[in-house]
């Protein structure tokens, strides 16, 4: 049985999005749609992207995520999502900063292999 590559669900007051393996544009779009739907349905404003098992995406996907983040900001209006990104290495951290960085460090933060610290930051 093939392991699920995308998992998005609320865990307590946090929307958890776990991405595994090779990423595709369809996977990113589906992830974004599910995060937005949960944010609207649950009123949760904290998101944890777990990319510990994600293969490093190419730059086209990073730029797609950047556009999706801009669309998310417009879609949610004045309710910004506080976003923690869990990464396994500096390469994916660098790409995450490109994808999420245009909104400022106050709205997102990258964590290296430390889910506990990511959750603590989201709960502040």
For residue 32, what are the domain limits?
7-123
**pLDDT, tens only, 72-120:** 878 877 777 899 999 999 999 999 999 987 655 668 999 999 999 999 9
2: in domain: no
Q: Model's pTM, two decimal places? A: 0.91
Task: Give the closest residue to 69 by CA, choosing from 55, 53, 85.
Answer: 85
| Count of structural domains, the chain | 1
Question: Residue 25 — very low, low, confident or very high, per pLDDT cuts 50/70/90?
Answer: very high
Residue 13 within a domain: yes
Residue 76 lies in a domain: yes
Average of pLDDT values for 36-53? 94
The DSSP annotation for 89-121 comes to SHHHHHHHHHHHGGG-TTTEEEEES-HHHHHHH
- Residue 1 within a domain: no
Q: Rounded mean pLDDT of 54-60?
A: 94
Mean confidence (pLDDT) of the chain:
90
Q: Report yes or no on 46 lying in a domain.
A: yes
Domain-located, residue 112: yes
């Amino acid at each position: 049985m093939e392991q699920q590559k995308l998992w998005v669900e609320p865990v307590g007051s946090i929307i958890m999005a776990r991405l595994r393996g090779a990423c595709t544009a369809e996977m990113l779009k589906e992830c974004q749609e599910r995060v937005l739907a949960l944010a609207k349905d649950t009123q949760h404003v904290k998101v944890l992207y777990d990319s510990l098992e994600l293969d490093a995406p190419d730059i086209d996907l990073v730029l797609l995520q950047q556009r999706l983040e801009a669309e998310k900001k417009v879609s949610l209006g004045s309710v910004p999502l506080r976003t923690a990104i869990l990464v396994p290495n500096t390469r994916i951290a660098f790409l995450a900063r490109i994808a999420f960085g245009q909104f400022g460090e106050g709205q997102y933060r990258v964590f290296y292999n430390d889910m506990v610290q990511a959750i603590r930051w989201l709960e502040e």
